[in-house]
Amino acid sequence: MERFGNLLNSYTKSFNKWNNRKGGLFIDTMRRVEVLDDSQFGAEIFYVHKNAVHHGYTKTINEWNWSSYNSLLIDSPTLLLRDEVMEFFWEKRKI
C-alpha cells in the first residue's frame, strides 16, 4: 500500500503543478478488507467487476474496458490467475 500511495502522491503533485492547482485528486481513504472465506472472496471479485455498472459508467460488466472481466472469459495470454478464478466459481456452481 505504501508504494501505491507514493504513486498516487507523485501523480497528484505532477497533475497539480501542470494545471496550476492545489489539493487532492482522489478520495483520501482507501479501504482494505482481509478476505476470510470463500463466500467473501467471490463477493469481492463480483464487486470489482460490477462497480462500473453500479456507478452508471456502463450498462453491463463486459462493456468496461478497464475491467479484467473479459480477460477472464477469453483464451488470450494474461497475467491473471484465470484458471484459479474460473475453477473457484465453477466449483461453487456445482454445490
Average pLDDT over residues 13-26: 86
pLDDT at position 95 over 60: no
Predicted model pTM? 0.56
The angle subtended at Cα 37 by Cα 3 and Cα 71, nearest 5°, is: 60
| DSSP H stretches of helix in 25-68 | 38-54
**pLDDT by residue (tens digit) across 56-66?**
999 999 999 88
